[in-house]
Amino acid sequence: MSKSIVLLPGDGIGPEVVGEAVKVIGALKSRHGLDAEMRHAPIGGSAYDETGEPLPERTLELCREADAILLGAVGGRKWDAIDYPLRPEQGLLALRSKLELFANLRPAIAYARLSPASSLHPRLVAGLDLMIVRELTGGIYFGEPRGIREEDGERIGFNTLVYSESEIERIARKAFKVAAKRRCRVCSVDKANVLESSRLWRETVGRVGRDFMNCELTHMYVDNAAMQLVREPKQFDVIVTGNMFGDILSDIAAQLTGSIGMLPSASLGKRSQGLYEPIHGSAPDIAGQDKANPLAAILSVAMLLRHSLDEPDLADRVQSAVARVIEQGCRTSDIYRGDGKRVGTREMGDAVVTALVE
Ligand code: IPM
Ligand code: MG
């Protein structure tokens, strides 16, 4: 039966990078037997402009029915003044939350030929293969109460960092299962020396870890983890952490690989349905200029094929094609360091499509 993919291009460079990902899906359909239909739907700022909401009901409905969702990016200065509940980012956060996509996998892989693009010494990043498992539907992003209130003549902004045992347990289980297919090492990152929610996090992850005795479990405070990521990143296999720490650490991990334009992600829940997106933002400064790197979006297609469409061979094919174009020297501006060929968004997408058959 044909699988259904909903495309949510979003804002800024989102439509451009999703456009290249669609070329890749199209080539897999016409030449490699993929049976999938694609439908577009609005999200983020462009959805707000069209309908007055960053996540229109119709978009949510289409996503609920789909086997997989591919998203570009949301947000931009144009919508900065809008109230929080209607901001473009809320569209994405609501989608993650309503579909209960609690597990966000963010692999950071450093391609050998791209080590000059990293801000760290090639010796520190060559061969890096790290997976961040970020809790995605809880923590301070969603905790109540939240808001800005008046007290004693001044305004007070507040948010709540809250995690229940069951939320911690399910993300920990996911992390151990991911690690079991890798190098069997999990590092749980928290701030248990200061925060009660982190103390519960540490205890709970430790308890879950006893069900996975073949995996090594270590704990690290988030400040140290940030430092260790830039000091000796290859010490990590799987990092499991909460929503906000994961947001921050995954941007650090992205830069290790050379560019944030290289990192895909998968957001998964109980079902096989998933949301796939590059971890980069909407980059309004380069939008519409054929400058964006589409590889994170294309690598997100590989994750989509693997986790939601049960097409591991096609996923491998996409990943190999990306590795090949990097080997061939194709470089968008973000990863161009004087060698190889500087290409635009579209030319990079075309190169991947060509490399799919090799
Ligand atoms: C990410 C992004 C989002 C997040 C924003 C756009 C809401 O930074 O996916 O990392 O904070 O989760
Ligand atoms: Mg982020």
Judge whether residue 2 has pLDDT over 90. yes
Determine the Cα–Cα distance for residues 301 and 315; give it in Å rounded to an integer: 8
Residues with CB under 6 A from ligand 1: 74-75, 89, 92-93, 247, 279
3-state secondary structure (DSSP) of residue 76? coil
**pLDDT averaged over every residue in the chain:** 97
Side chain identity at 271, as an amino acid letter? Answer: R
What's the whole-number mean pLDDT along residues 149-169? 98
The DSSP result for 238-300, as a single string, is: EEEE-HHHHHHHHHHHHHHTT-GGG---EEE-SSS-EEE--SS---GGGTTTT-S--HHHHHH
Ligand number with the minimum distance to the CA of 278: 1
Residues 192-205, mean pLDDT to the nearest whole number: 98
For the chain, give the percent of residues with pLDDT over 70.
Answer: 100
223 is catalytic: yes
Annotated active-site residue 23? The verdict is no
Q: What local confidence, expressed as pLDDT, does residue 116 receive?
A: 86
> In this predicted model, what pLDDT tens digit does every residue of 3-58 receive, in sequence order?
999 999 999 999 999 999 999 999 999 999 999 999 999 999 999 999 999 999 99
Which of 93, 142, 248 is the best mutation target for the ligand 1 pocket, counting ligand atoms within 8 Å of the beta carbon and taking the most? 93
What's the pLDDT at 358? 72
Domains of the chain (ranges; CATH) run 1-102+269-358 (3.40.718.10), 106-261 (3.40.718.10)
Catalytic residue among 247, 276, 334, 336: 247
The closest-lying atom of ligand 1 relative to the alpha carbon of residue 75 is: 6
Helices (DSSP H) in the chain: which residue ranges?
14-32, 44-51, 57-65, 88-98, 122-125, 165-180, 196-209, 222-231, 243-256, 295-307, 312-328, 345-355
- Residues, the chain, total? 358
Nearest CA to ligand 1 atom 12: 247
Tell me the pLDDT tens digit for each residue of 333-348: 999 999 899 999 999 9
**What per-residue confidence (pLDDT) applies to 1?**
83
Let me know: does 89 contact 50? Beta carbons within 8 Å: no
Q: What is the pLDDT of residue 115?
A: 87
| Cα separation, 274 vs 336, whole angstroms | 32
Is residue 173's pLDDT more than 80?
yes
- pLDDT, position 303: 98
What pLDDT score was predicted for residue 295? 98
What pLDDT sits at residue 322? 98
Instruction: Report the pLDDT value the prediction gives residue 10, as an integer from 0 to 100.
Output: 98
What tens digit of pLDDT does each residue of 189-198 get?
Answer: 999 999 999 9
Query: Out of 112-116, 199-203, 319-323, which region has the weakest mean confidence (pLDDT)?
Result: 112-116
Task: Tell me if 17 sits within 8 A of 296, measured CB to CB.
Answer: yes
Q: Whose CA is nearest to atom 7 of ligand 1?
A: 89
The CA distance from 66 to 275, in Å, is 10
